[in-house]
Amino acid sequence: MTEIPKDHPRYAALMVRDRLTKAMWAKLVAPEGLIAQGRGEAFDYLLGEQTTASAARAERTAAAMLLSAERPVISVNGNTAALCAHQLAALQEASGAAVEVNLFHRTEERMEKITALLEEHGVTVLTGTSERLIPLSHDRALCLPDGIGRADLVLVPLEDGDRCEALRRMGKSVITIDLNPLSRTARTATLAVIDEVTRAVPAITAACRTLSEEEARTLAVGVDNRIFLEEALRAMAGRLGEVADALE
Ligand code: PTJ
């Protein structure tokens, strides 16, 4: 693999690509996960690769929803595990949520490898016999009856749209973390956090640690996702305008 020089202007981003590519060869990340990351990177460019004020509010709201839920579950796929396994134990501890592995490109080998990686980083992962409880025609229908099956709220970072819709149809609240405010997932979630997942997860964890019970209850009521989507789109459009104005 190519050695990435530390003085490269895109060093941090290239290291993330390197991590994901290695995770793909190790069969943790699906090959399609690299394409998903590329799409995310493109939207992150439009945000200036930083957390907007609106996303920071969404992260506090996500924390409030997690703290107010009765049976919250964090659903982890290959990309999320490869990017933030080291951040998920803290989120689990601060939010009290259970963690379940749920994959689109599901194989038993990937399920086991992702579970092992999460456990290495101190995450307690739900295990058991999955059942086809989510009304979908592919393997994302499979989930644990005592996990996502009975959850009232599911956090689904980097999701592919149809499961989000199906979970909503089952009456569950869904929080997604997705850099693309145009995605079906972002538009059908109860709350979309339009931010990069490794920035969003620690921000949600920090908010879980500082919100009082009372604040969490108030913030979690009447969440209007359209506002967050609109603000993200306006932030992206505004930045494009600024960059265009600054061209010589
Ligand atoms: O591990 P598996 O088998 O469950 O597969 C996972 C992938 C990601 C391949 C699967 O869920 C998929 O195909 O997802 P999509 O439909 O490509 O959607 C992923 C969404 O996440 C896209 O809207 C991206 O913009 C967004 N995204 C990608 N990378 C990041 C991101 N959002 C936040 N942070 C990122 N690093």
User: In tens digits, what is the pLDDT along the chain, a chain of 248 residues?
Assistant: 678 888 888 888 888 899 999 999 999 999 999 999 999 999 999 999 999 999 999 999 999 999 999 999 999 999 999 999 999 999 999 999 999 999 999 999 999 999 999 999 999 999 999 999 999 998 889 999 999 999 999 999 998 778 999 999 999 999 999 999 999 999 999 999 999 999 999 999 999 999 999 999 999 998 999 999 999 999 999 999 999 999 97
Is the shortest distance between the CB of 142 and ligand 1 below 6 Å?
A: no
Residue with tokens 């995450």: 123
Is the shortest distance between the CB of 47 and ligand 1 below 6 Å?
A: no
Amino acid at the residue 82: A
Q: How far is the CA of 160 from the centre of ligand 1 (A)?
A: 6
39 annotated ligand-binding residue: yes
**Antiparallel, parallel or unpaired: β 153-157 and 72-76:** parallel
239 annotated ligand-binding residue: no
Q: How far is the CA of 5 from the centre of ligand 1 (A)?
A: 27
What is the model's pLDDT at position 220? 97
Is the shortest distance between the CB of 51 and ligand 1 below 6 Å?
A: no
What is the model's pLDDT at position 233? 98
- Domain 53-236, CATH: 3.40.50.12640
77 annotated ligand-binding residue: no
Nearest C-alpha to atom 12 of ligand 1 is from which residue? Answer: 160
What is the model's pLDDT at position 123? 98
ipTM over 0.90: yes
Is the shortest distance between the CB of 184 and ligand 1 below 6 Å?
A: no
Cα 247 to the center of its chain, rounded Å: 34
Tell me how far apart the alpha carbons of residues 42 and 83 are, in angstroms, rounded to a whole number: 17
Tell me how far apart the alpha carbons of residues 61 and 59 are, in angstroms, rounded to a whole number: 5
What is the model's pLDDT at position 2? 77
- Three-state DSSP at 142 gives strand
Task: Give the ligand 1 atom nearest the CA of 195.
Answer: 33
185 annotated ligand-binding residue: yes
Instruction: Give the predicted TM-score (pTM) of the model.
Output: 0.96
Tell me the best of 27, 160, 198 to mutate to test the pocket of ligand 1, counting ligand atoms within 8 Å of each CB and taking the most.
Answer: 160
